[in-house]
């Protein structure tokens, strides 16, 4: 796919993977629509992209947990640029807490952002993407294939997203629309800092080694290349691929290995 003059909507575009994806598409000549709750930040990013790459960029304030705001996002994109070619559902939130200690509101919050946010945006963008035979992308995780302890809500949201995207892909099998699930590894973005604790408050800084993580820029480049190559699933790390296959072939052993890993992290308690 040549991205020049394609219209790309990116949710969660104010930081992290979303912001890097917006820049990657702009670099490749696309017109970008940036969506997030932080409108001032979005406007600054959009202006920077226009100046740096000579493309058109539109900032739209939108909370993906609100159905009506997702609908308005798509309407504004079509009103401004006349079409939608690609929807990148990258808005996301994480959490770290044991289920037994966690307030149930945490699950609702994570599901609303990670799952329903993608559902709402996809619902309103789909009629336009059918016209252009474009692409719908969901940013998932290896947690969408293998449950992670201390991340029950996050895991549930990504399993739900993966199932939704798979069903949608099958529905659109003969419509010429690409439906891709992109699963990065641990990424150096603020999603870890803003991860919710058991009470729904932000955890803050983590002690994870960022030197071993993917950068948002690397993730963005791989997502763009995946769309261009019309990939179905994009699992970006060897560790992620290994975990998925181990879980299929040796599920009981994988339970023990995952338990041991997160026990070292301090997530699990004896």
Average pLDDT of the chain is 93
Strand partners, 149: none
- If we measure between CA atoms, which residue out of 6, 9, 75 comes closest to residue 36? 9
Tell me how far apart the alpha carbons of residues 121 and 12 are, in angstroms, rounded to a whole number: 12
pLDDT at residue 213, as a whole number? 76
Tell me how far apart the alpha carbons of residues 77 and 236 are, in angstroms, rounded to a whole number: 30
Give 45-63 pLDDT, tens digit per residue: 999 999 999 999 999 999 9
Q: What φ, ψ does residue 32 adopt, rounded to 5°?
A: -115, 140
Contact 216, 20 (CB under 8 A): yes
pLDDT at residue 246, as a whole number? 94
DSSP result, 199-253: TS-B-------GGGSBPHHHHHHHHHHHHHTT-SEEE--HHHHHHHHHHHH-HHH
Model confidence, pTM:
0.92
145 belongs to the catalytic site: no
Tell me how far apart the alpha carbons of residues 113 and 121 are, in angstroms, rounded to a whole number: 11
As given in the structure block, the two tokens for residue 168 are 């949608």
Of 53, 145, 154, 259, the active-site residue reads: 154
As given in the structure block, the two tokens for residue 254 are 């994988």
Contact 44, 18 (CB under 8 A): no
pLDDT at residue 261, as a whole number? 86
Can you list the residues of the chain whose pLDDT is less than 50? 210
- If we measure between CA atoms, which residue out of 190, 188, 238, 194 comes closest to residue 210? 188
pLDDT at residue 191, as a whole number? 64
pLDDT at residue 164, as a whole number? 98
Tell me how far apart the alpha carbons of residues 169 and 189 are, in angstroms, rounded to a whole number: 29
Tell me how far apart the alpha carbons of residues 73 and 7 are, in angstroms, rounded to a whole number: 13
Query: Tokens 């973005």 appear where?
Result: 189
The residue ranges of every structural domain in the chain are 7-236
Give 98-142 pLDDT, tens digit per residue: 999 999 999 999 999 999 999 999 999 999 999 999 999 999 999
Give 164-179 pLDDT, tens digit per residue: 999 999 999 999 999 9
CA dihedral in degrees (50, 54, 56, 62; nearest 10)?
A: -30
Sheet holding 233-235, edge to edge: 57-61, 31-36, 7-11, 86-89, 135-139, 178-183, 233-235
CATH code of domain 7-236: 3.40.50.720
Query: Tokens 């790309």 appear where?
Result: 8
């Amino acid at each position: 796919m040549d991205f020049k003059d394609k219209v790309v909507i990116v949710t969660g575009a104010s930081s992290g993977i979303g912001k890097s994806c917006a820049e990657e598409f702009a670099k490749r000549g696309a017109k970008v629509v940036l969506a997030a709750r932080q409108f001032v930040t979005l406007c600054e990013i959009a202006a920077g992209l226009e100046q740096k790459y000579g493309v058109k960029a539109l900032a739209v304030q939108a909370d993906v947990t609100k159905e009506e705001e997702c609908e308005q996002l798509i309407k504004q994109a079509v009103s401004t640029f006349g079409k939608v070619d690609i929807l990148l559902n990258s808005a996301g939130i994480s959490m770290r807490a044991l289920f037994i200690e966690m307030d149930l509101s945490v699950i609702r919050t994570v599901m609303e952002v990670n799952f329903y946010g993608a559902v709402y945006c996809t619902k309103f963008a789909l009629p336009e993407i059918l016209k252009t035979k474009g692409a719908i992308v969901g940013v998932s995780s290896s947690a969408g294939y293998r449950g992670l302890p201390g991340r029950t809500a996050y895991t549930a949201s990504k399993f739900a997203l993966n199932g939704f995207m798979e069903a949608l892909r099958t529905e659109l099998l003969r419509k010429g629309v690409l439906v891709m699930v992109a699963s990065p590894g641990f990424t150096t973005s603020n999603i870890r800092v803003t991860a919710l604790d058991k009470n729904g408050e932000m955890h803050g800084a983590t002690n994870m080694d960022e030197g071993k993580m993917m950068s948002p820029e690397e993730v963005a480049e791989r997502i763009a290349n995946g769309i261009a190559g019309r990939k179905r699933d994009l699992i970006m790390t060897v560790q992620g691929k290994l975990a998925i296959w181990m879980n299929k072939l040796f599920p009981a052993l994988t339970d023990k290995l995952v338990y041991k890993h997160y026990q070292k992290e301090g997530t699990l308690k004896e």
